[in-house]
Amino acid sequence: MTDSQLIREIKDGNVELYAELMARYERKILNFIYHMLKNTPLEMMVEDLCAETFFKAYRSLHSFREVEASFSTWLYTIARNTVLSEMRKQKNASVSLEDSGYVPRVQAVDALPEETMLRQEKVSMVREAINNLPEKQRSALILREYDQLDYQEIASILGQTVSSVKSLLFRARSSVKMQLAPYISEPIFDEYEGMKRK
Task: Give pLDDT, residue 130.
Answer: 85
Pick the CATH number of 1-102 from 3.40.50.2300, 1.10.1740.10, 2.30.40.10, 1.10.340.30: 1.10.1740.10
**Which CATH code fits 106-198?**
1.10.10.10
Closest CA to 102 of 162, 159, 27, 161: 27
Per-residue confidence in pLDDT tens, the chain, 198 aa: 899 999 999 999 999 999 999 999 999 999 898 888 754 555 578 889 999 999 999 999 988 988 778 899 999 999 999 988 887 776 644 444 444 444 444 444 555 677 777 777 777 788 788 888 898 999 999 999 888 899 999 999 999 999 999 999 999 999 988 988 877 655 545 555 455 444
DSSP secondary structure, 60-75, as one string: HGGG--TTT--HHHHH
Q: How large is the C-alpha radius of gyration of the chain?
A: 18
Task: Give pLDDT, residue 181.
Answer: 83
Task: Give pLDDT, residue 111.
Answer: 54
What residue spans define the domains of the chain?
1-102, 106-198
Task: Give pLDDT, residue 40.
Answer: 52
Cβ neighbours around 25 below 10 Å, total = 20
